[in-house]
Amino acid sequence: MRKTIALLMVVLGFAIQIVSYFFLAAPLGVPDSPAYADPRVPFAPLIFLIGVALVFLAAVVYELLPEKESK
C-alpha cells in the first residue's frame, strides 16, 4: 500500500511540474516585449514548487507508513 501511495505521489508531482512548466509559465522563446516574459498564471512558479515538494514528500510517506505484514 505504501509503495502505491508513494508512486502516485511521484507521478502526480511530476505531472504538476510538467503542466506548470509547459502550460502555465511564460511562453518559450525570445520575448518580444516584457509582457510576454511574464508567466501566463501569476503563481505558476509556486505550482511548480508544490510539484517538487510532492515528489520529495513521497519518500517521506514511503518511509513513515508501516509496511503491510505478510503471513
Query: Cell numbers at residue 65, please?
Result: 507508513
Nearest 5°: the CA angle 19, 22, 25 is 95
pLDDT class of 71 with cuts at 50, 70, 90: low
> Using one digit for the tens of pLDDT, what is the confidence trace for 21-68?
888 887 777 777 777 777 778 888 899 999 999 999 999 999 998 887
Nearest 5°: the CA angle 36, 39, 44 is 170
In angstroms, the Cα distances linking 60 to 3, 30, 63 are 12, 39, 5
Query: What DSSP state is assigned to residue 42?
Result: T
